[in-house]
């Protein structure tokens, strides 16, 4: 991986979308890029903050920046793509964004434990990965997770993640969101050398 700076991070992310975005989101009727672009598009349509839109856009970026590869229905272990994603973004994005990335899988486990109706809405692939990810949270895990000051935003991005699985939906491409991604980076790094 090249040395990333605030002037190259957005192009780096755009390049991943361009080169790898066509890869299958196995078990879902969308590619990885379509999935993330749909989440960001819904966030923008619903008037969410730029930080939330960008978090939705990048929530699965760890599928590409880690050595762990993409989700596979044959997996017998969780591959922790959410940690890889947050690690790459951590130098450039605010905690609000990286928390939404890092905890988007935990949020599914949280919602399954706290909202019985939520489980019914999960796709088959998402139920499969839920089991690999540890199933619904225990009461102690729910209590700990609830203490995160960014809980509401984490849940919001989880719902955008769930929504971004629409076959044949037209969305803007990464270039549409790139200036917004740069603004979020610049706001976060303002005042640092
Ligand atoms: Fe996702």
Expressed in angstroms and rounded, the spacing between residue 38 Cα and the centre of ligand 1 is 10
Surrounding residues of ion ligand 1, Cβ less than 5 A: 60, 161
Please state, rounded to an integer, the average pLDDT across all residues of the chain: 89
C-alpha 150: how far from its chain's center? Answer: 15
What CATH number was assigned to the domain covering residues 9-103+151-185? 1.10.3210.10
Task: Name every residue whose Cβ is closer than 8 Å to that of residue 12 and which is 6 or more positions away in sequence.
Answer: 2, 4
Is residue 73's pLDDT more than 90?
Answer: no
Expressed in angstroms and rounded, the spacing between residue 22 Cα and the centre of ligand 1 is 14
Residue in 116, 119, 115, 108 with CA at minimum distance from that of residue 145:
108
Expressed in angstroms and rounded, the spacing between residue 152 Cα and the centre of ligand 1 is 17
Buried b (16+ CB within 10 A) or exposed e, 94-108: bebbbbbbbbbbbbb
Residue in 22, 26, 36, 20 with CA at minimum distance from that of residue 181:
36
**More confident of the two residues 148 and 27:** 148
Per-residue pLDDT tens digits for 111-148: 999 998 998 888 888 888 898 889 999 999 999 999 99
Coil vs helix vs strand at 26: coil
For range 44-60, the mean pLDDT: 97
- Residue 74: pLDDT band (50, 70, 90) is low
Expressed in angstroms and rounded, the spacing between residue 192 Cα and the centre of ligand 1 is 31
Helices (H), the chain: 9-20, 32-45, 50-58, 62-65, 81-89, 95-102, 104-114, 116-121, 124-132, 139-146, 151-163, 174-189
Residue 44: Cβ within 10 Å count: 19
- How is residue 71 written in tokens? 């989700």
Expressed in angstroms and rounded, the spacing between residue 101 Cα and the centre of ligand 1 is 9
Residue 31 backbone phi and psi in degrees, to 5: -80, 170
Find out whether 56 and 183 touch, Cβ atoms under 8 Å.
no
Query: Is the whole-model pTM more than 0.85?
Result: yes
């Amino acid at each position: 991986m090249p040395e990333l700076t605030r002037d190259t991070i957005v192009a780096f992310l755009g390049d991943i979308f361009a080169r790898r975005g066509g890869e299958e989101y196995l078990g879902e009727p969308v590619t990885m890029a379509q999935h993330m672009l749909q989440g960001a598009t819904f966030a923008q349509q619903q008037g969410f903050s730029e930080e939330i839109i960008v978090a939705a856009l990048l929530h699965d970026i760890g599928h590409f920046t880690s050595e762990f590869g993409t989700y596979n229905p044959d997996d017998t272990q969780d591959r922790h793509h959410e940690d890889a994603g947050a690690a790459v973004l951590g130098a450039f994005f605010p905690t609000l964004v990286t928390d939404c990335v890092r905890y988007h899988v935990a949020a599914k486990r949280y919602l399954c434990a706290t909202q019985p109706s939520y489980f019914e809405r999960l796709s088959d692939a998402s139920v499969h990965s839920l089991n690999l990810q540890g199933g619904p949270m225990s009461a102690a895990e729910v209590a700990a997770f609830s203490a995160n000051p960014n809980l509401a935003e984490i849940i919001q991005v989880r719902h955008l993640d769930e929504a971004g699985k629409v076959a044949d939906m037209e969305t803007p491409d990464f270039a549409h969101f790139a200036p917004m991604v740069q603004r979020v980076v610049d706001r976060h790094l303002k005042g640092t050398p």
